[in-house]
Structure 1
Amino acid sequence: MPTSRFSPELFEEMKILGLFNLTTTQEGIKVHSNATPEAISAARRLHDKGLITQDDGGYLTSLGHEAAQHAQDLLTILVTEKLAS
């Protein structure tokens, strides 16, 4: 069931998804042990959901790539200034 609010946990997961370079499948990320506890937990949740290959980052899975694309598209929409009508 979709949630109507972005919880702090979901926001952290979206932040992690926003770190991935979507132009290549050969580039992953690493969430280091000195990262914030929120980032470490978010990476683990993304791994548990099957979106990334390792619990500390790694690469996007196929589903993860799709989710990251949506997250990054949303960010682009929200930060882009409205064009004159």
Structure 2
Amino acid sequence: MSLTPELVAELEVLALFNLDSSQEGLKIHQTAAPKHIAAAQRLFEKELTDQPDGGYLTSLGRDAAQNVQTVLTILKEQQTA
């Protein structure tokens, strides 16, 4: 599986969510990069978020965001080692 620009944009949006609080959502403004606006819409269509412009993570979305953020943490730690 290759990482398409669309998948990378979705991963970037998932990485923005604060997982320390389920009460904190995300708002992708219309002035954001078009790739992130489109990524937010796709995440909504995949039922990972509850709004097409971000909103809150669904249960599945929270699992996905946790995995994305874990992978990024591991890779960043490997770069500094």
TM range (shorter): over 0.9
Choose 1 or 2 for highest CA Rg. Answer: 1
- Stretches of structure 1 that go unaligned for 5 or more consecutive residues are none
- How many matched pairs? 81
The offset of 1:83, in angstroms, is 8.7
Deviations 1:14-70 (A, max 9, x none): 000000010110000100000011000000000000000100000000000000000
More helix by share: 2
Tell me the distance in 2 between the aligned counterparts of 1:75 and 1:82. Answer: 11
The answer to whether residue 43 in structure 2 is matched with residue 34 in structure 1 is: no
| Amino acid across the alignment from 1:34 | T
Partner of 2:73: 76
User: RMSD across aligned C-alpha pairs, in angstroms?
Assistant: 1.5
Quick one: percent identity of the two aligned structures? 52
4+ runs deviating over 6 angstroms: none
Tell me the distance in 2 between the aligned counterparts of 1:40 and 1:83. Answer: 31
